[in-house]
């Protein structure tokens, strides 16, 4: 059977405070999926998860989100300098609690269109769905992700980048 869902790289946070940096992402897949199992180290119960593509720190991202913290609500933000996935558990959360986020990046290697990211995130006390846009026509070859400062992940957090082929 042909494999159409292939792990490109997996990285486990080895010491508190690190983030993830997937570089040299091959362009041979159709879509990418980044699966996060994570918890932050920032001193709060939860903290937002953020990422950048190709190390672009310009205000080239925007998002619309639908989420609930007990009240269903929707928000959007333009011209942000990161893509966002919503809250992940952090240092003040109950021990043993990690959150999960699944980020689908469609048609990531094309050099004609801007890139869309679909996100689902589950953290105790929250549920999120996002659509993010990165206004660049560059092929995505690098993804950086973390919480406060794009790092600050807890030891034992794991991120896996999968490549998905349409054929």
CB of 163 to another protein, least distance (A): 10
CB of 59 to another protein, least distance (A): 28
Q: Which residues contact 71 (CB under 8 A, 6 or more apart)?
A: none
Q: Which residues contact 15 (CB under 8 A, 6 or more apart)?
A: 155
Q: Calculate the CA dihedral of residues 105, 35, 11, 150 and round it to 10 degrees.
A: 70
Q: Which is nearer to another protein, 57 or 122 (CB)?
A: 122
Cβ-contact 88, 102 below 8 angstroms: no
Binding site for another protein (CB under 8 A): 1-7, 10, 35, 37, 66-72, 96-100, 102, 120-129, 156, 158, 160, 162
Q: Which is nearer to another protein, 82 or 157 (CB)?
A: 157
CA distance 80 to 90: 22
Q: Which is nearer to another protein, 126 or 135 (CB)?
A: 126
CB of 36 to another protein, least distance (A): 9
CA distance 44 to 142: 28
CB of 6 to another protein, least distance (A): 6
Q: Which is nearer to another protein, 8 or 106 (CB)?
A: 8
Q: Which is nearer to another protein, 118 or 138 (CB)?
A: 118
CB of 109 to another protein, least distance (A): 19
**How many other C-beta atoms can be found within 10 angstroms of the C-beta atom of residue 130?**
22
């Amino acid at each position: 059977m042909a494999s159409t869902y292939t792990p490109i790289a997996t990285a486990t946070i080895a010491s508190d405070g690190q983030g993830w940096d997937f570089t040299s992402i091959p362009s041979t897949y159709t879509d990418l999926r980044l699966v996060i199992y994570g918890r932050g180290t920032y001193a709060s119960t939860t903290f937002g998860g953020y990422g950048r593509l190709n190390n672009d720190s310009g205000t080239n991202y925007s998002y619309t989100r639908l989420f609930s913290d007990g009240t269903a609500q929707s928000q959007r933000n333009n011209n942000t300098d990161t893509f966002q996935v919503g809250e992940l558990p952090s240092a003040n959360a109950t021990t043993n609690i990690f959150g999960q986020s699944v980020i689908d990046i469609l048609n990531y290697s094309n050099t004609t269109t801007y890139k869309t990211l679909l996100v689902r995130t589950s953290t105790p006390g929250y549920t999120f769905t996002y659509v993010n846009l990165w206004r660049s026509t560059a092929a995505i070859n690098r993804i950086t992700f973390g919480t406060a400062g794009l790092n600050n992940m807890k030891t034992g957090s794991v991120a896996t980048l999968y490549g998905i082929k349409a054929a």
